[in-house]
Structure 1
């Protein structure tokens, strides 16, 4: 779960900085925009996606009885 949060923060920083730079902000302004992007990150959505993915992975790993149909 921590890895998903870390990756989401990194993606927000990169995207925020790039968008700000494309919009013409100076490097300092782009950095501030990148920090704001992390602050605005919907952490509940990140955690929900991670939980959903973990649950899906867990159901794929359930052992079936010999001879059962998948």
Structure 2
């Protein structure tokens, strides 16, 4: 799961792959479609991005990140 917040509202997405680019400095690579709701403002404008490494116990979170057109943080705000 990839998350970021540029100050407007947080964004999240499920990445199918993440690759290591460099150990020093620590750099990771992931790609998303420009059509993704996460690609606009939040992700593109964020100063930092967090990569969450998930396992099978986190399947609901990965489904949430992969669902289009929803507020992925709605439950967290209640």
TM norm structure 2: 0.20
Structure number with greater Rg is: 1
Query: Which structure dedicates a bigger proportion of its chain to strand?
Result: 2
TM-score norm. by structure 1 comes to 0.21
Give the helix-richer structure, 1 or 2: 1
